[in-house]
Structure 1
Amino acid sequence: MFLKLRNLLGGRRPVRDFAIPAGERVYAVGDIHGRLDLFEDLIATIEADNAARGSAVTTVILLGDLIDRGPDSAGVVARAREWSRQRQVHFIMGNHEEMLLQAREDIDTLRGFLKFGGYETLLSYGIDPDIAAGADIEELHRLLREAIPEEDCTFIYGFKKHVSIGDYLFVHAGIRPDMPLHHQQTKDCRWIREPFLSHDGDFGACVIHGHTITDEPEVRHNRIGIDTGAYVTNTLTAIGLEGTQRWFLSASSADEISAAA
């Protein structure tokens, strides 16, 4: 789902001075969807940007949908785990991770998983495409359970519903308006679009989210969407936050890596 970019200054209302606690720096990365090439470039860009900005307690948050659609979900999962051994990384579960875990147990869910990019995930784990193309749903279910290592599933099971740091809430899809943050339902955090996207009120925090594709980061007075559709637009986006400052980083498949304050 693509939405036209809305006013980068936040729409009708002035942007509130949301802040990250003093001494901390946060980077959040949008939906990767199996694009290991872009993920590797963006990791390098984040690390270089972090080093250039000086000392801070740095946290990285991956907003979910690491898998499906793109060509190397297995590689993204492995690289994400490796990065988390080098610095503090929080993982948020997206709707695609949820579908993968449910598809391991339920064939009906597997049908939807395969339709929305899960087939590419199976191939990335080494399933022969000719065998997969000729397999029925029961056989594909067996292949999925055999091909995806238990350690990867355990890793994904540990992904969080949301993360709060300072005045920011980091979540995959969004939240239910007018519901306290501590009462948010898991389904909404992973799947919601409306009424979240059009809500003009105060969420109680500035919500940083992915899930809904826009052609550029969508900055509103109460939320910032950073899913720029890596698997289809070839651009993966991150946001950097420190104090009341915000900046964007991106990586493209054309080796055009940019940073904008």
Structure 2
Amino acid sequence: MSLFQRSRRPRPAPRERLVMDMRDTVVYAIGDVHGCLDELRALEAKIQRDAQRFSGRKIIIMLGDYIDRGPQSRRVVDHLMAPPPKGFLRVCLVGNHEVALLLYLDGYLSRETWLGYGGRETLFSYGVDPDRLISLYGSSEQADARIREAIPASHVDFLRTLPAMVCSDQWVFVHAGIRPGIALEAQDENDLLNIREEFFEAAHRLDRWVVHGHTIVDVPTLDGRRLDIDTGAFQTGRLTALRIIGRYGRLLSSRD
């Protein structure tokens, strides 16, 4: 499902794409959180313990989709806006669910579409009951104004500034994937946030290892040169991370 195609208005400015030198660096990539703060905290605690035996720079890369579906979207955003675990840097990438919220707030997406996309749980986390909006506020315009009032400007600003991709000479970190055969700098943002089949079918032809989320898997398994680490935390209670040192990786789970 591609939300960018739902509006004829001009798209927002392209998001930043970061280049990272991963030499002497331990990277922990974390899959889709979807409002599951307890699982995120449990996984971060395991990451901190795991990282104690390694020297060098340590970076946590969040792969997007922090909100919707799970019960604690607001607290997850608060958590990610706070300082990272001691001794770590943290990079948060954007996911399609963050973009959906912003499209709604900016008037590009209807409230009904956004709520059906997962926004109901997010609204509850901000203290707004989506089932009572019209009865409480009388009109659709007033209901939308109440929602915009409930979500702190600092949260909106944070979501607006999230980059779309991090890459090194061997690795790419992105929410959904990349379109094979297209240079990284020329990738369409819609693909970075939403692509599935075209990416999956050509995974063996990729020239870098791609770590992503977006599509739920029971067990993360290397497929060609891609690894999907979205284990559906809001359904399974399992949030997954991939630790990378050089060309080698190891999976960690919030439930191990």
Give the TM-score range, shorter chain: 0.7 to 0.9
- Give, in whole Å, the separation in 2 of the partners of 1:211 and 1:89: 20
Instruction: Tell me the equivalent position of 2:37.
Output: 36
**5 Å matches for 1:1-261?**
21-51=22-52, 53-84=53-84, 86=86, 87-106=88-107, 108-128=109-129, 131-132=132-133, 134=135, 137-251=140-254, 257-258=255-256
User: What is the one-letter code of the residue matched to 2:233?
Assistant: A
Residues 48-84 of structure 1: CA deviation (Å, up to 9, x unaligned): 1111x22120111000000001000000011111143
Q: Is the 8 A contact 1:181 1:204 kept in 2?
A: no
Amino acid at match of 1:94: G
Spell out, residue by residue over 1:80-128, the C-alpha distance to the aligned partner (whole angstroms, 9 max, x if none). 1114385311111100000011110216343221102101101101224
- C-alpha distance after superposition, 1:153-202 (max 9, x if no partner): 11111111100134110000011111111110100000111211121442
Conserved? CA contact 2:120–2:130, under 8 Å: no
Aligned with 2:28: secondary structure? strand
CA displacement at 1:218 relative to structure 2: 2.6
Does the aligned pair in 2 maintain the 1:32–1:67 contact within 8 Å?
A: yes
Aligned pairs, number = 234
Deviations 1:175-232 (A, max 9, x none): 1111111110100000111211121442221110000000011312210000001111
User: RCO greater where, 1 or 2, for CA within 8 Å and sep 6 or more?
Assistant: 1
CA contact (8 A) 1:99 1:110 kept: no
Distance in 2 between the 1:133 and 1:213 partners? Answer: 34
Cα distance change on mapping 1:137 and 1:209 into 2, 3 Å: farther
Indicate the RMSD between aligned Cα atoms, in angstroms. Answer: 2.0
Give the whole-Å Cα distance in 1 for the aligned partners of 2:149 and 2:74.
Answer: 14
1:11 maps to none
C-alpha spacing 1:235/1:137, structure 2 compared with 1 (3 Å): farther
Cα contact 2:44–2:85 (8 A) shared by 1 = no
- Please state whether the residue corresponding to 1:178 is helix, strand or coil: coil
| TM-score calculated relative to the size of structure 2 | 0.85
Does the 8 Å contact 2:204/2:223 carry over to 1?
Answer: no
Segments of structure 1 that go 5 or more residues without pairing to the other structure are 2-19, 252-256
Matched residue type, 1:103? Y
TM-score, normalization: structure 1?
0.84
Contact preservation (8 Å) 2:134, 2:143: no
